Amino acid sequence: MSKGLCIITGASRGIGAATALLAARDGWDIAVNYAGNESAARTVAARVEAEGRKSVVIQADTSKEADIVRLFDEAEAALGPVRGLVNNAGITGKISQVRDMSEAAIREVMQLNVIGLMLCCREAVRRMSNKDGAAGGAIVNLSSIASRLGAPNEFTHYAASKGAVDSFTLGFAREVIGEGVRVNAVAPGMIDTDIHASAGAPDRAARLGATTPIGRAAAPEEVAEAIVWLLSDAAGYCAGSILDVSGGR
């Protein structure tokens, strides 16, 4: 029996793709959202369907309100009422000190990582809340341990965006838990994905992973385990939790 529709933003690669596959194994039907790489998204959807679950592939830029609303509309039209949301889409921006950051670079990070995430949460709660006659649901936001480390000389704008995600998760969780909607976050540490190459440092995970207390970077699947657990009824008493998956950092 299906657990219902779970929308995963940025699901064509990395943590999002790993989460889509693991959530499918746990009984969720998956809306695979992507921004630009349709081929990768369709590969993820095929893997979901190979697990016996339904999927739909939807292009949407989750930094844009109209795209977000369309994403939810199309996902529900294809797979029924949304019961799960994983706000995975995000960017670090390019490696930079604050003195060299442009306004455009800061806005790009904040627009996707903060405003887009908040708008996705807005659409989800409008469709999940038992206050409006729905059956409730679970939301997992992707934060980062950068929110407490600050990411100096590299990603302070990204770290600030994830600090906003933490604060929003706490407040939003307390706002909607009485409506049958659980909101939590996962805060990864050094994860081996291609987000580092996008930032201009393809060797970053291997190089810095070795400096963590655990001695390595994590695989995306290790973060997905935490996300799918927070989506599940096993985490039924978790609301406003921010779960570190950081190898001891």
Contacts of 41 (CB under 8 A, 6+ apart): 11, 12, 32, 33, 34, 57, 59
- Mark out the alpha helices in 154-194 (DSSP H runs): 156-176
Distance from chain centroid for Cα 43: 19
Confidence tier at 46 by pLDDT (50, 70, 90): very high
226 burial level (CB within 10 Å; 0-12, 13-18, 19+): buried
143 burial level (CB within 10 Å; 0-12, 13-18, 19+): buried
The pLDDT, as a whole number, for residue 210 is: 72
Q: Does any domain span residue 55?
A: yes
Confidence tier at 212 by pLDDT (50, 70, 90): confident
How many whole angstroms separate alpha carbon 235 and alpha carbon 26? 14
Q: Which of 28, 155, 158, 168 is catalytic?
A: 158
The pLDDT, as a whole number, for residue 197 is: 53
Digit-coded pLDDT (tens) for 124-178? 999 999 998 999 999 999 999 999 999 999 999 999 999 999 999 999 999 999 9
Overall residue count recorded for the chain in this entry: 249
Q: Does any domain span residue 46?
A: yes
Mean pLDDT calculated for residue range 39-68? 98
Q: Does any domain span residue 122?
A: yes
Q: Does any domain span residue 138?
A: yes
Q: Is 158 a catalytic residue?
A: yes
Q: Does any domain span residue 128?
A: yes
CATH of the domain at 19: 3.40.50.720
The pLDDT, as a whole number, for residue 205 is: 64
Whether 80 contacts 134, CB under 8 Å? no
The pLDDT, as a whole number, for residue 1 is: 81
Q: Which of 82, 221, 227, 22 is nearest to 140 (CA)?
A: 227
How many whole angstroms separate alpha carbon 134 and alpha carbon 62? 24
Q: Which of 147, 154, 165, 131 is nearest to 9 (CA)?
A: 165
Collapse the DSSP code of 90 into the 3-class scheme (helix H, G, I; strand E, B; otherwise coil) and give the result: coil
Digit-coded pLDDT (tens) for 183-204? 999 999 988 776 655 655 566 6
Q: Which of 187, 85, 168 is nearest to 126 (CA)?
A: 85
Q: Does any domain span residue 153?
A: yes
Edge-to-edge strands, sheet with 4-8: 55-59, 28-34, 4-8, 82-87, 137-142, 181-188, 242-245
Q: Look up residue 219 and give its DSSP letter.
A: P
Task: Name the pTM for this structure.
Answer: 0.94
Q: Does any domain span residue 198?
A: no
Give me the domain span that covers residue 36. Answer: 4-189+220-245
The pLDDT, as a whole number, for residue 190 is: 83
Sign of CA dihedral 159, 167, 128, 182: positive
Per the structure, the count of domains in the chain is: 1
